[in-house]
Structure 1
Amino acid sequence: MIPFKRIFSFITLLGFIGLSSAALAQLDSSTITLKWKPGEHYNGQDNQELNLMLKNIGQTKIRLNEHDLWFTALFPVENKKTSDYEILSGNGNLIRVRFNDDLYIKPQDSLQVSYVSKYPVFNISTVPNGVYFQHREDMSTFFAVDVEVNPLPVTNEQRRMHWSSLYDKNRERQVTEDANLILPTPKYLKKGKDKLQLANAITYWVDSVFEQEMENLMTFADQFPGVRFVEGTEKSQFTVRHVPGYGKEAYGLKIDDRGIHIEASEGIGVFYALQSLRSLLDVPSFAASEISLPHVEIKDEPRYTYRGFMLDISRNFKDKKTILKYLDLMSRYKLNTFHLHFIDDEGWRIEISTLPELTEIGANRSPLFGKHQGLQPTYGSGAAGTPDHYLSRADFVEILRYAKQRHITVVPEIETPGHARASIKAMEARYHRYIEKGDKAEAERYLLHDFEDKSVYSSAQYWNDNVMNVALPSVYTFISVVLDEFKSMYASADLELRKVSLGGDEVPEGAWEKSPKIKMLMDSLGTTSVYDVWPYYIKKVNALCQEKGLQLVGWEEMGMMNKGKGMEVNPGLASSNIQLDVWNNLIGGGQEDLAYRLANAGYPTVYISANNNYFDMAWDNVFEEPGLRWASYADLYQSYTFLPEHFFASIAYSINGAKYEKGYFSHKVRLNEKGKSNLVGIKGGTWAETIVSEERLDYMVFPRLFSLAERAWSPRKPYEDENKFDIKPFNKDYSSFLNKVGKEELPKIQSFVKFRLPAVGVREEQGKLYANTEYPGFDVYYTVDGNIPTRESSKYSEPVSLEAGKTYKFTVIDKTGRHGTVSVIKSK
């Protein structure tokens, strides 16, 4: 074993590197390539050496010392200085490699730079990205470089065991051919034996009370180009009646020989009835000249009033078009709250006309950040400037109107006081602009940090300057102005802003401790503990929201306090009507029961389970699977194991819960009757550190969002009881859900959603390879020569004979040619 320090300091120079007066090639993307690979002895434990290989692909030697090499990493790396180069792991994990004088690479030769990550890399999302070279003197000269990635090494036996284990899991979890008729499952459904056939012209009648739903009804009708909808009388084939007595979101739906009959008390009930009709239909019906529907009688209403989806557009921006698409998808599956996380350390993404710097600086990530022209590159942005990566006021108003038509409430999240670097840096730029004009009062009007604060801290994403100084009156002026702008935008959309999230999570240890302004605040409060600043801040912003007629929403820490031994429930604010979004139930982390403790204490609680419904978590441990794993690996089954009111009932069948003995969590708090009344709903979330495109977003969210929708709307299942939980009925229910997802719902959205295709489990039995998929409805193709399968390859229909010395590759390929994860089996 090579000693750790020697590994870290080692650099290999392949080819001649030295001083020469010969002609030099220009360093640019046409003369140099980069390859990333793990070190020879990398094991992710006591050896975390990683390598970047720079190759001169030109015909003339190139000099490196005029440029710096920059890249972002998910994890910090160790600083390093040698006689040839220096590696500096900067704020937010922006890494700089500075080459020393007289460093050259000969034509077609390479330079290998070794560095050490402080935490293990584990998949494609944890390798360096956003790589660029920047001229040291002329900082406006920079260029991006693509990085070829060599995966972490995996043995043939490890591959075989992984795909065999997946095959067994697929077989255990798919135990019935039955499929749910509707997703999410209605509260009451009775299916008849016959079918209704509708063709040509379909007459419809809609009660005038539901005039505002006509746009949605026409949108529904437009999905069927093979038939026409013609207005008729109350005896039409398709009727929508107003019937008092239904709950706000409830509806009745009956399909019989007379036609389709919807009844509801409010328009939103009609809307959800249409979504159930859509789910009842099979894929061919949408293009057919005849619509065929089973006879059914349905009485339906949601389990929870709050059914949400959170989308982070700060870490990596998603435009209006993408957001509108996701609002459509949410409405199809009866989710009614869109939590828009538009500001974080890495970006501010909505225009605020009063404070243009928020988008001029806060939305623009650029290599020119050192000249105060934007934020530093991060999460893959690299050399690409992002000056237009924000929603204009008009964009946001359009989003609000679009959501309103689909009965979705948009709740903006303005991160404070932590996760606020984009706001802080934007207001700092504003400060300097007014100072240059000699207007100190205006410069300080919205200032968010104290220049004299010497506090030392590192946030969850490794920032050391991302916390607002809550002792400054200007912080509250800033929040007030931003809230007023949002109220104005909602009014422009003919809506009233009723609740807003002010974040409130992950203020790092050490923040505020060396701030003179905070010390003065503490003195005025008569406290000697910086921890007492936190409840002061929450009370302050809650009062500000109440003055503006708003309900304050925030992450769980808003309902917690620190008495010196870590965060605990703060009963003093439980009656303040602060809605808490509770994510922390990390198994083994000690807070598995936190959502229940807060709900039991009296806080209105929305359960956003990181263990199950953080869709940015990687599906499994295959290197090619994108995403993170700090909460858990989370496949669709893991998402489905989330039982909102009985989290511990199924914990042994979650990926991390399976590591603990039965009874290990028996001392944890369970949800009591008071807590049940305060559990207002659930939601899923998607953080965007690793999600750089709309296609990657689709991949991470679907099909897992279907599980969220099922749990949020459908009534509690009989197995949702810790005292009666049985994995057999759970798996049967999951299998019926899975058949609906794979065979019907995914095909309905495949034209515009690049969802994750199922991986193929492969098991060797008696000299043959057996294959199955994680969810049904997809064809498997395979090769025996080591090539990646195409649609021209053999289609799997029966076990494949195993021959010595051959490499077998299996994958799902859809009708568009997309393929899923490739399962590789090398025979001995």
Structure 2
Amino acid sequence: MTEVIPAPRSVVAGSGEVRLTAHSQVYAGTETEGVGHWLRTVLRQATGLPLREGRELDDTEGDGIGLQLDPELGPEEYRLVSDWTGVLIEGGSEAGVFWGAQTLRQLLGPDVYRRAPLSRDRTWAAPHVTIEDAPRFRWRGLMLDVARHFMPKDGVLRYLDLMAAHKLNVFHFHLTDDQGWRVEIRRHPRLTETGSWRARTKFGHRASPLWVEKPHGGYYTQDDIREIVAYAADRHITVVPEIDLPGHSQAAIAAYPELGNTDIIDTTALSVWDNWGISANVLAPTDNTLRFYEGVFEEILGLFPSEFVHVGGDECLKDQWRRSPAAQARIKELGLADEDGLQSWFIGHFAKWLSARGRRLIGWDEILDGGLAEGAAVSSWRGYQGGIAAARAGHDVVLCPEQRVYLDHRQDGGADEPVPIGYVRTLEDVYRFEPVPPELTSQEAGHVLGTQANVWTEVMEDHARVDYQTFPRLAAFAEVAWSALPAPGERDFAEFERRMAVHYRRLDALGVAYRPPTGPLPWQQRPGVPGRPIEGPPPNR
């Protein structure tokens, strides 16, 4: 079998190879021109071959590449045939053709991922093979938290390329939190003028005595966001923005103190939070707050065309609402039972507001508390139970349980693991993750849109640390999200490891600072920086 990751549905090997030459051409049929441009660009960079644009499919005969649609295939399904006539990739849509082109790239060898040729006289060849393939899930996601540690735009574009190389298609962009606001909102300029930077940063877990005593910050202009969204779309990735409310909002309150519970605290004294954890400072349940965030979301909708908009909704501490006469009066006015009902009112307002504009709200599983508006979806993070409850109530769900696919969790129990957080989640653990809870009926399981790996960056101070925590486990996750199960509950990890031996060379060519199978390299360690390890195995469900 070819060393393709994620594993294709069907592979039939042939006995020869297609060699790319100075005469090879790439033909892109109607509605596949974007894939043709992308493929010629990356192959030209790595091979140095001209790979001219073919005018007819016959131009590819023998040593060329053809791309075209086949309406008989599913939307993201593709067929790749490499034989004596050349390479032909057909897809049910341009997305399907693009995923087939990603597979072809893997077939050409690890050095095809480099940005310049290592040699001008080497042979580039794809084996004769027929591959038929389609994804298991429509939502194959990666969440990247840029609020805790900002990732400059070029780093975000790089991660979109890494996602595409692994056939992931949803980029959940966590843009706001207590520790920073990362997107320009023109009608509320202080969100970035004040909210996008903090005076210092905790180094390690929140119990650590260590600090980085320098300002940290950054944000994306609206043009940056447009570029990111367009770059993702060219790679058939949907960008889902997250704007947190009503908790995880201290950066917004620091910028606009009137958003906070001003009747019980002096919100003008707040700054963007420099520590980790969950801030007690939450949004005040006022009409002014609703109007403010409606203005935020109006600009967000103009930047992100995605069906879903994420509103967070998790870890909203309610002590301020309990102590606030204004919040208690609002609970009584609305006829709510308690503070949980007040959070549900917040979420319900924006679910209806987004629905009226043709969008759908999605939030972390706490938004189920108190009932959820029709059409809203759930990111199930506290285990499987939120996903099970959401699916049984008729809501769509994305499974991303902390115990399984939070990639900030440590990869090994060794003492040299940098800033160890949470449970040990090895490459094999992630590979054996099963997104669909067996408790669901087939009808209920139909509400599982897919799955997502989450990268929270409290202890990831730069892109090399993000790489270390994310890879190679994202490769295992990608196979979970894309490839059908060989049989219920069965995946062959030994066979996956065999393919990973080649995939590590692809990651090397891409410049990914992954965790080696033998453990962290000296410069990947963080001796003396306290983490938050949790002893024992994580819960099974």
Do the two structures share a fold, i.e. TM-score over 0.5?
A: yes
2:25 aligned with 1:198:
no
Query: Which residue of structure 2 aligns with residue 621 of structure 1?
Result: 413
**Residue 485 of structure 1, CA deviation:** 1.3
Query: Which residue of structure 2 aligns with residue 757 of structure 1?
Result: 516
Looking at secondary structure, tell me which structure has more strand per residue. Answer: 1
Q: Which amino acid aligns with 1:525?
A: L
- Would the aligned equivalents of 1:758 and 1:820 in 2 still touch at CA under 8 Å? no
**Residue 216 of structure 1, CA deviation:** 1.3
**Residue 313 of structure 1, CA deviation:** 0.5
- Would the aligned equivalents of 1:380 and 1:692 in 2 still touch at CA under 8 Å? no
Query: Which residue of structure 2 aligns with residue 557 of structure 1?
Result: 366
Q: Which amino acid aligns with 1:679?
A: V
2:67 aligned with 1:240:
yes
Between 621-630 and 309-318, report the one with greater CA deviation.
Answer: 621-630
Counterpart mapping for 1:569-648 below 5 A = 570=371, 573=372, 576-585=374-383, 592-630=384-422, 632-646=423-437
Counterpart mapping for 1:776-787 below 5 A = none
Distance in 1 (alpha carbons) for counterparts of 2:337 and 2:47: 71
**Residue 604 of structure 1, CA deviation:** 0.4
- List per-residue Cα deviations over 1:273-316 (Å, max 9, x = no partner): 11011122222567563222222112211110011000001111
Q: 1:227 to 1:821 in 2, by over 3 A?
A: farther
2:88 aligned with 1:258:
no
Segments of 5+ residues of structure 2 without an aligned counterpart are: 202-207, 267-274, 528-541
- Would the aligned equivalents of 1:226 and 1:289 in 2 still touch at CA under 8 Å? no
**Residue 365 of structure 1, CA deviation:** 0.8
2:322 aligned with 1:531:
no
- Would the aligned equivalents of 1:418 and 1:466 in 2 still touch at CA under 8 Å? yes
Instruction: Classify the secondary structure of the residue corresponding to 1:500.
Output: strand
Query: Which residue of structure 2 aligns with residue 485 of structure 1?
Result: 299
Distance in 1 (alpha carbons) for counterparts of 2:90 and 2:3: 20
Distance in 2 (alpha carbons) for counterparts of 1:251 and 1:423: 45
Q: 1:463 to 1:701 in 2, by over 3 A?
A: closer
Q: Which amino acid aligns with 2:308?
A: K
- List per-residue Cα deviations over 1:65-107 (Å, max 9, x = no partner): xxxxxxxxxxxxxxxxxxxxxxxxxxxxxxxxxxxxxxxxxxx
Query: Which residue of structure 2 aligns with residue 717 of structure 1?
Result: 486
- Would the aligned equivalents of 1:599 and 1:676 in 2 still touch at CA under 8 Å? yes
Distance in 1 (alpha carbons) for counterparts of 2:437 and 2:315: 26
**Residue 511 of structure 1, CA deviation:** 4.1
Instruction: Classify the secondary structure of the residue corresponding to 2:88.
Output: strand
- Would the aligned equivalents of 1:308 and 1:682 in 2 still touch at CA under 8 Å? yes
Query: Which residue of structure 2 aligns with residue 351 of structure 1?
Result: 184
Instruction: Classify the secondary structure of the residue corresponding to 2:378.
Output: strand
- List per-residue Cα deviations over 1:724-747 (Å, max 9, x = no partner): x6xxxx4xx111212222333444
Distance in 2 (alpha carbons) for counterparts of 1:474 and 1:819: 46
- List per-residue Cα deviations over 1:239-286 (Å, max 9, x = no partner): 122322222111111011111011123211111111011122222567
Q: Which amino acid aligns with 1:526?
A: G
Instruction: Classify the secondary structure of the residue corresponding to 1:194.
Output: strand
Distance in 1 (alpha carbons) for counterparts of 2:225 and 2:349: 28
**Residue 180 of structure 1, CA deviation:** 5.1
Query: Which residue of structure 2 aligns with residue 476 of structure 1?
Result: 290
1:417 equivalent among 220, 224, 246: 246
Looking at secondary structure, tell me which structure has more helix per residue. Answer: 2
Q: 1:354 to 1:576 in 2, by over 3 A?
A: same
Query: Which residue of structure 2 aligns with residue 702 of structure 1?
Result: 471
2:36 equivalent among 202, 205, 214: 214
Point out which structure has higher relative CO (alpha carbons under 8 A, 6+ apart).
2
**Residue 646 of structure 1, CA deviation:** 4.8
- TM normalised by structure 1 equals 0.57
- TM normalised by structure 2 equals 0.86
Query: Which residue of structure 1 aligns with residue 230 of structure 2?
Result: 401
**Residue 318 of structure 1, CA deviation:** 0.7
Query: Which residue of structure 2 aligns with residue 85 of structure 1?
Result: none
Distance in 1 (alpha carbons) for counterparts of 2:161 and 2:45: 14
Q: Which amino acid aligns with 1:624?
A: D
Distance in 1 (alpha carbons) for counterparts of 2:225 and 2:336: 42
- Would the aligned equivalents of 2:191 and 2:251 in 1 still touch at CA under 8 Å? yes
- List per-residue Cα deviations over 1:511-558 (Å, max 9, x = no partner): 411111222122223345333223222221211212232210100111
Q: Which amino acid aligns with 2:32?
A: F
Q: 1:757 to 1:523 in 2, by over 3 A?
A: same
**Residue 200 of structure 1, CA deviation:** 3.1
- Would the aligned equivalents of 1:195 and 1:293 in 2 still touch at CA under 8 Å? yes
- List per-residue Cα deviations over 1:32-87 (Å, max 9, x = no partner): xxxxxxxxxxxxxxxxxxxxxxxxxxxxxxxxxxxxxxxxxxxxxxxxxxxxxxxx
Counterpart mapping for 1:130-149 below 5 A = none
Query: Which residue of structure 2 aligns with residue 188 of structure 1?
Result: 10
Query: Which residue of structure 2 aligns with residue 687 of structure 1?
Result: 456
Between 183-192 and 276-285, report the one with greater CA deviation.
Answer: 276-285
Between 330-339 and 500-509, report the one with greater CA deviation.
Answer: 500-509
- Would the aligned equivalents of 1:758 and 1:812 in 2 still touch at CA under 8 Å? no
- List per-residue Cα deviations over 1:571-625 (Å, max 9, x = no partner): xx3x61111111112xxxxxx5332232222110001121121111111222331
Counterpart mapping for 1:49-128 below 5 A = none
Q: 1:228 to 1:423 in 2, by over 3 A?
A: same
- Would the aligned equivalents of 1:367 and 1:383 in 2 still touch at CA under 8 Å? yes
Segments of 5+ residues of structure 1 without an aligned counterpart are: 1-178, 369-377, 429-446, 491-495, 562-569, 586-591, 648-669, 761-810, 823-828
Distance in 1 (alpha carbons) for counterparts of 2:524 and 2:215: 32
2:258 aligned with 1:452:
no
Q: Which amino acid aligns with 1:559?
A: L
2:327 equivalent among 510, 518, 527: 518
Query: Which residue of structure 1 aligns with residue 269 of structure 2?
Result: none
**Residue 390 of structure 1, CA deviation:** 1.3
Instruction: Classify the secondary structure of the residue corresponding to 1:205.
Output: strand
**Residue 484 of structure 1, CA deviation:** 1.2
Q: Which amino acid aligns with 2:212?
A: G
Query: Which residue of structure 2 aligns with residue 736 of structure 1?
Result: 495
- Would the aligned equivalents of 2:26 and 2:36 in 1 still touch at CA under 8 Å? no
Q: Which amino acid aligns with 1:399?
A: I
- List per-residue Cα deviations over 1:696-733 (Å, max 9, x = no partner): 1111111010011101111122142xxxx6xxxx4xx1
Distance in 1 (alpha carbons) for counterparts of 2:163 and 2:497: 19
**Matched residue count:** 504
Percent identity over the alignment is 29
**Residue 501 of structure 1, CA deviation:** 0.7
Q: Which amino acid aligns with 1:489?
A: L
Instruction: Classify the secondary structure of the residue corresponding to 1:209.
Output: coil
Instruction: Classify the secondary structure of the residue corresponding to 2:51.
Output: strand
Query: Which residue of structure 2 aligns with residue 391 of structure 1?
Result: 220
Distance in 2 (alpha carbons) for counterparts of 1:674 and 1:735: 33
Distance in 2 (alpha carbons) for counterparts of 1:384 and 1:503: 28
